[in-house]
Structures are given as structure tokens and as C-alpha cells.
Amino acid sequence: MSAAAGARGLSLGRIVLYAILGLFAIFYMLPLFVMIVTSFKSLDEIRLGDMLGLPQQPTADAWFAAWQTSCIGLTCEGLKGYFWNSIKMVVPAVFISTILGSLNGYVLTKWRFPGHRWVFALMLFGCFIPFQSVLVPMALILGKLGIAGTTAGLVLVHVVYGLGFTTLFFRNYYEAFPNELIRAAQIDGASFFQIFRRIMLPSSGPIIVVTVIFQFTNIWNDFLFGASFASGDSAPMTVALNNLVNTSTGVREYNVYMAAAIIAALPTLLVYIISGRYFVRGLMAGAVKG
């Protein structure tokens, strides 16, 4: 009898817990719901003031306007051009920083050298340097390299700033990797890059997913570096979105703003929806040694 009562109490506790979590989830998702429904409303319907109400006459005009109309300075062009700027910036930056981070993690764990702890400590320290403190020196470097105000300059900035994080991820993951496999490969005559390519990389799937998601999200959502080191036609999506809202004159087209914000957020949402579960698995993969 007591066991049955305990089971009922346990199920009741779970119901209460799930109800509380559900309320928090609804509260957290409410702004996204408002953005979605507002983007499908006309301006006349928005003026009625019912933010939570579903659109009475749904229309996708705001989405087309957001995709085709944004202003950079005195020039108004389609948001799609700046969307592709972000793609051209994110893909190489994520790829390069992931490869370099994996090589650094490999060297710092399996090919240790005198002072390797200091090198890792300095790279880890770089993860905590505020964005604002590197703006001036980075601008000077980009100017001397001749890539200031270009997409290539933004790629370099994000690779350099993200290298500390990618090195940290791979270093912690490879720390738990068996050293015996590396020694066996060395005895068989495998070189540095052969071991990396044939042994380390094939087993690095979970941490690669973590690194790609982390870097993709940070680089795509970045505004400060994009506003500081890019201009005109090379501006990324976040800068174009900001200019769309702040350079509008006359009527405030909230439905267009909401649609543009959703377009800007869609890539990161899709990345988390598709590979979010692998992100958690990858974080836990290198957490326990042995």
C-alpha cells in the first residue's frame, strides 16, 4: 500500500514539475511567438494593439519586404545580399578555426613540448579578453594587411578571436584520448599529420559538432566586429538588420522588422534544431577521462 502511495506521489511530483517547466517554456518562447505572428500581420492589424492575437488575414508581404529592402547609409538594397555576406564570412571562419583548434589540441596533448602549459594558459587567457579591447589593434592590423572593411578581414578577426575556444574544446577532448594508440602509430612509422588525419580526426566527431555549433552561433550573431571592421556591401546580416530598423523613416513597419529578425535568426535556429542533441553529447564526451 505504501509503495502504491509512493508511486502516486512520485507521479504527482513529476506532473507538477513538468507543469512548472512548461510554464517557463511558454514564457520563454512568448517573444518568438509575438515575432512570428506580427510578421504575418498587416500594419493596420498591428495598430489594433493585440500583440498575442493570431493574424486575421495572414500575409507574407513583410517577409518579401524584409528580404528585398534594407538600407546601408543612403543606399537601399535587398537584405539577401548581406545574408550571403554572412554565409561567406561564417563558413570559412568556422572551418579554419575548427581545423586550427584541432591541431592545437592535438599538439598540446599528444606532442607536448617544454612550456606547453604556458602556451595553453595564454590561449585560454585570450578567451576572456573583451571584444572592445581588441578593436583598435585589430583595426591597425587589418589596415596594414590591406583587408580592412572586407569580408576577408572579418574572417581573420573571427578566426583569431575564436582560436582560444576551439583549442580549449579539442584540448580537453584529446586529453582523454588513449596515448597508447599514438605510440603504436609512431612505432609503425606514422608521421605527425598521418596520425592526426587517420586516428585523431575520425574519432573527433562529437567535439567537432560542438565546435562548429559554438563558432557558427557566435560568428553569425556577432554585431560589434561586423559594425567595426566591415562597411557598405561587405556588411554582415546583423549590421544590415540594425540599419534596417534604425534608418527607417516615416511609418515604423514592425511586421517587416520582425520578419527581418526571424530571417537573421533562422540559420542558428536550424543548426540547433538539426544538431542540438549532438551538441550535448559532444560536451559530455570529453568530460570524464578513462
pLDDT, tens digit, 9 for 90 and up, residues 226-269 = 888 887 778 898 888 888 777 666 677 888 889 888 998 898 88
Model confidence at 287: pLDDT above 60: no
Task: Identify the band that residue 104 occupies on the pLDDT scale cut at 50, 70 and 90.
Answer: very high
More confident residue, 94 or 1: 94
> Concatenated DSSP letters for 151-177?
HHHHHHHHHHHHHHHHHHHHHHHHHTS
**What pLDDT digit, counting tens, does each position of 147-160 carry?**
888 889 999 999 99
Range in 19-28, 63-72, 186-195, 265-274 the model is least confident about: 63-72
pLDDT of res. 127: 83
Residue 20 scores a pLDDT above 90:
yes
Residue 10 in this model has a pLDDT that exceeds 80:
no
Distance between terminal CA atoms of the chain? 44
pLDDT for position 101:
94
pLDDT at 289 over 50: no
How high is the pLDDT of residue 165?
A: 92
Report the percentage of the chain scoring pLDDT > 70.
Answer: 87
Could you read off the pLDDT of 83-98 as tens digits, one per residue? 888 999 999 999 999 9
Cell numbers representing residue 73 in the block: 547609409
pLDDT surpassing 60 at residue 27: yes
pLDDT reading at 51 higher than 50: yes
Q: What string of DSSP letters covers the chain?
A: -HHHHHHHHHHHHHHHHHHHHHHHHHHHHHHHHHHHHHHTS-HHHHTT--SSSPPSS---HHHHHHHH-EEETTEEE-HHHHHHHHHHHHHHHHHHHHHHHHHHHHHHHHS--TTHHHHHHHHHHHTTS-GGGGHHHHHHHHHHHT-TBSHHHHHHHHHHHHHHHHHHHHHHHHHTS-HHHHHHHHHTT--HHHHIIIIIGGG-HHHHHHHHHHHHHHHHH--HHHHHHB-GGG--HHHHHHHHHHS--SS--HHHHHHHHHHHHHHHHHHHHHHHHHHHHHHHHTTS--
Can you give the pLDDT at residue 74? 39
Classified by CATH at the fold level, domain 68-285 comes out as MetI-like fold (1.10.3720)
pLDDT at 96: 96
Question: Quick one: pLDDT band at residue 75, thresholds 50, 70, 90?
Answer: very low
pLDDT of 2 above 80? no
Q: Specify the pLDDT at position 284.
A: 65
Name the band, by pLDDT with cuts 50, 70 and 90, for residue 128. confident
Shortest CA distance to 225 belongs to which of 144, 145, 158?
158
**Residue spans per domain, the chain:** 2-59, 68-285
Q: Is the pTM of this model over 0.85?
A: no
Q: What is the pLDDT of residue 79?
A: 79
